[in-house]
Amino acid sequence: MPLVFIISNHLLEPHFRQWKTFCPGSTLAWAAQLQLSLSAVVLLVARFLTSVLEQPPASSTWSAFKPSQTKVRRGLTEWARPRQQISPIKARPTFHVKHSSVEMYELYIYSVRPVKTGARNVPIPVPKPTEILSKVIATSSNPKDWQFPDLLPGRRANEGDDIAGIVHAVGSEVIEFRGGDRVAGFHRMLEPYGSYAEYAITPETCTFRLPANISFEAGSTIPLTSITAAIALFQQLSLPLPWQMFRESQPKYGPLLIYGAGSTVGAWTLKLAGLVKTNKASGVGPIIAVAGTSSIDLVKSSGAADYIVDYKKSNVVTEVKKILEKEGKELRHAFDAISHTVTKTWENGAPCLAKEGTVWLNLTDVPEFQVNFEPNVVMSRVYCAGAYGEPDPDTHSYSPRTEAEAKLDGEFSYCMYRYIARMLKHGKLTPHPYEVQPKGLGSVEQGLQLLFDGKVSGKKLVYRVADTSGLEKFQ
């Protein structure tokens, strides 16, 4: 810039000498001021042109990162760059995949009785503006992975929804994540590009950073079940939020019954409720956990349950009523993590609820037939897809979520996922026990069959994509 100023002075100096020769003193002052003004204009124009020339071309969206090295895999570029090289001043660039001609391995389920899976080549997906494309390191199975194909005959889809991996690309409106971030996420159910593949898509709002102390395998057990438990507790049963301030003068929440506390969703419900209970002013408690004999040790390990009832060794209704009588309290909130039309487990929770005043019973699945509950019982279904901000399409539910309520569920889920990540980082929450299957995605068929047969208890089945046999032939 000083060079520009010198050049401008050099160009204007001959004219200034002519003015000095022929003009009086007052005019000389005016001429000097004119010279300075013209020099300033030249300087501003030079600055503007320099800033324009320094801007990277529109297609060079990652040029600001100046990566130290690149690794090319099957035609797409995966960037590795030290974070200290990222300028804190410039607008953050976003890596957009320009095409989807490169293919990846994907596993799909096409039969349930018995479970059958197949493998195929599909294009690597392009993330939409608010989506994230992650390279899947580990994934886990959920009962819905076989239930959806069973309910929708002829469906041949990648049903995986729990993702733990590394961000590969982000949509144009994503501002929270960069390529290379360790993340876990909840894939949008019933849509393409699930977690049983090399790459998967998740909404930004249902994706969170995976703390360094949590492995990819453990992280893959978290997304779906944790948010299901959180929506049930805080959005449906109105449990006070764990970060909420309480006062002694506020009404107390009272007892909470969790049926199926040994299941993955039930265990997360117990852990989250336990965080709230640590604040005595919240008035949450006692927490009564109901589980089977094989899950009792798991329930005890959380330290959140005040009472544990083994449904295989005693009558649940009788035992729960004894506990409430001993505590001198009425039960107004109950969550059933096992509920199903066949099991009718709500028959163990509903009779324990108070007979007067409004009481709430939340189920993971509502009956397919009319059940005659007491008039004061408000029964609802937890809809985990509320995490996307979408209403429950099951309009025959006893208490379906409206569009406005679903949007609130979506906002809540965005905040809750980040709170869960923080608690995981500080060791106040721990992932559910899991078992890594030996053949990667090649073990999904066997894993879903075990879930279908009811032979999985107290743990999640996890698959490492890199362990998949024959993966190289799809590359």
DSSP β-ladder status, 162-170 and 182-186 = antiparallel
User: Is the CATH code 3.40.50.720 the one for domain 225-425?
Assistant: yes
**Residue 92, pLDDT score:** 35
Give the burial string for 214-246 (b: 16+ CB within 10 Å, else e): bbbbbbbbbbbbbbbbbbbbbbbbebbbbeeeb
pLDDT tens string 396-436: 455 567 788 888 999 999 999 999 999 999 999 999 999 99
CB 463 within 8 A of CB 140: yes
What DSSP assignment string belongs to 292-351? -GGGHHHHHHH---SEEEETTTS-HHHHHHHHHHHHT----EEEESS--TTT-THHHHGG
For residues 73 and 310, the model is more confident at: 310
pLDDT at position 450: 95
Q: What is the pLDDT of residues 242-301, one digit of tens each?
A: 998 887 777 888 999 999 999 999 999 999 999 999 888 888 989 999 999 999 999 999
Asked if the domains at 69-222+434-474 and 225-425 fall in one CATH topology, the answer is no
Q: Domain locations in the chain? A: 2-54, 69-222+434-474, 225-425
Q: pTM of the entire structure?
A: 0.76
Place domain 69-222+434-474 in its CATH homologous superfamily. Medium-chain alcohol dehydrogenases, catalytic domain (3.90.180.10)
Dist CA 148 CA 202 (whole Å): 19
In angstroms, how far is CA 425 from the centroid of its own chain? Answer: 15
User: Is a pLDDT exceeding 60 seen at residue 20?
Assistant: no
Q: Would you place residue 199 in the very low, low, confident or very high pLDDT band (cuts 50, 70, 90)?
A: very high
Host H or E run for residue 136: strand 131-140
Residues whose CB falls within 8 Å of the CB of residue 170, separated by 6 or more in sequence, listed in order:
94, 95, 96, 127, 131, 132, 133, 177, 178, 179, 204
Helix (H, G, I), strand (E, B) or coil at 167: strand
Mean pLDDT estimate for the chain: 79
Centre a 10 Å sphere on the Cβ of residue 318 and count the other Cβ atoms it contains: 11
Single out the residue of 473, 410, 462, 475 nearest to residue 216, CA to CA.
462
